[in-house]
Chain A
Amino acid sequence: MNPPDANPSDAFAVVTMNGVRRGARAISPVLVGQLPYATVVGLTAQAHGFSMLEAALMSGLMFAGAAQLLVLGSWVYPPAIFGNTLASTMVNLRFVLMGPLLAPWMDHLRGWRRWGILFFLVDNAWAMSVQDIERGKRDAGFLLGAGLVLWFFWVAGTLAGFLVGDFVAPPPGHPVFFAAIAVFIAMLAPMWKGKRDILPWIAAAGTAALVSHLMPGTAWHVVAGAIVGSALGLLQSRIGPRNAG
């Protein structure tokens, strides 16, 4: 699927339908973890007096489950525009750390391809894309396909939860919500690069546990854990380059 003018030895990236299909297929198992949350977002929005269109707009335009659940959890009318924007930005700060790892694809795209596909940067689609990049794949359609599938079912699940909430949406604490955690754990296994990850991962877990204890109900633990863990990784690679393979 390479464009005819591309020299295979040069770095390049393309967006093809083949890549979109690959991404869509690869991401489908993850839907099991996303759908319960989508229905809860729809149910909660409905409970706070959103119209169906407003609920769909929120999921369609934000496409950020953790942020949506956080602001909906403390929703009042009229809404605090600045406070809610700040809260959702904090939850989504992790995306700032994630974007740069897509550079091997995005650097070679222009216009809507680059800035449009970045709209679909969402945790699981991103993680699978980073793995695809590491395998030497050069088709950013993968992220687009994975993101489109997640987006479609995110909005559809929100509407389902809105319409038939009490029948469809599981109550808080239902074990089906573990699926979303399971998605993240399942993604962790292919991220393991060997011994060099031991200390950074322990430091990240410890930091996240501490910060979530000190600042419950916020999302700072995600960013703090990632920064502390990655900084330790850097330190370890500088101090003992031979041990940090």
Chain B
Amino acid sequence: MRVDPWIFLTIVSMAVATYATRAGGYWLFSRFTPPDAVRTMLTYVPGTLFISFVTPSIINGGWKEWIGALVTLAVAMRTRSPAWPIALGTAAAWISAETFLR
């Protein structure tokens, strides 16, 4: 099977850079004891990071994104497993796209 040297080099270069971001953040913080302020900031990272990821997709989306997001959130607040909120939220987005909100 064909592997083009340019494509291969580009893939390897991107893969190395990607791994460097995965290992680099941890590596940096294990070398230098982070100040208290940074550690306090890090406790806010999971929530603020994930909300930053989803917000533009919802704001720039239409009804199906808004309805799907509300249903996902409502179900997620009542269950521990992510299975139900993902399934029901996606179903709600899909149904609203297929029916009244074409």
Contact = CB atoms under 8 A, between A and B. Distances in A.
Nearest to B98: A175
Interface string B45-89: 111111111111111100011001100110111001111011101
Q: Which of B8, B47, B80 has the most CB of A within 10 A?
A: B47
Interface residues of B, number: 73
A57 B11 contact: yes
A172 to B, nearest CB: 13
A121 to B, nearest CB: 4
B36 to A, nearest CB: 9
A92 interface: yes
Interface of B, secondary structure class, is helix
Would you call the interface of chain A mostly helix, strand, loop, or mixed? helix
A155 interface: no
B49 A94 contact: yes
Interface of A: 29-30, 32-33, 50-54, 57-58, 61-64, 67, 71, 77-81, 84-85, 88-89, 92-103, 106-107, 115, 118-119, 121, 123, 127, 130, 175-176, 178-179, 181-193, 197, 200-201, 203-205, 207-209, 212-213, 221-226, 228-231, 233-234, 237
Given A89-B21, A99-B23, A178-B65, A209 B13 contact: no
Contacts of A207: 52
A189 B30 contact: no
A130 B46 contact: yes
A208 B51 contact: yes
A228 B41 CA distance: 10
A213 B46 CA distance: 22
Nearest to A83: B10
A85 B18 CA distance: 9
B51 A204 contact: yes
Contacts of A102: 26
B94 A175 contact: yes
Given A29-B81, A175-B93, A230 B48 contact: yes
Contact of A185 (B25, B34, B44, B69): B69
A62 B90 CA distance: 27
Contacts of B54: 181, 184-185, 188
Contacts of B25: 95-100
Contacts of A78: 6
Contacts of A80: 10
Contacts of B1: 51-53
B46 to A, nearest CB: 5
A224 B52 contact: yes
A200 B89 contact: no
Contact of B2 (A51, A85, A118): A51
